[in-house]
Amino acid sequence: IKTDLILVEGFKKCKIKKIEIFNRNLNKPLLYMSDENILGLVIDKEDKITKQKNLEIFKFDDTEGIAKFILKHARNEFINWFA
């Protein structure tokens, strides 16, 4: 199968670039503070905790912004791969 981009779920401990999805209602800790591979954060509610690290932050309903972010990083990876 020929593909240009593969999105996966899980793989929290793998050293691959990631976007963390965070829902406060699940009462689980944020992972981005201890994982340098998390480049973006999709959240239900922004607060000062999520502003501590330099990463892109999106709301759940910002699907266009999230898609652009993924494509930008995929494009950069593709360019770097052939550099």
For residue range 32-68, what is the model confidence (pLDDT) as tens digits?
889 999 999 999 887 766 666 678 899 999 999 999 9
Predicted structure pTM score: 0.80
CA distance 46 to 56: 12
Beta bridge partners of 18: 38
**Cα→Cα distances 32→1, 4, 5, 80, Å:** 32, 26, 23, 24
Predicted confidence (pLDDT) per residue in 10-40, tens digit: 888 999 889 999 998 999 998 988 999 999 9
pLDDT for 35: 92
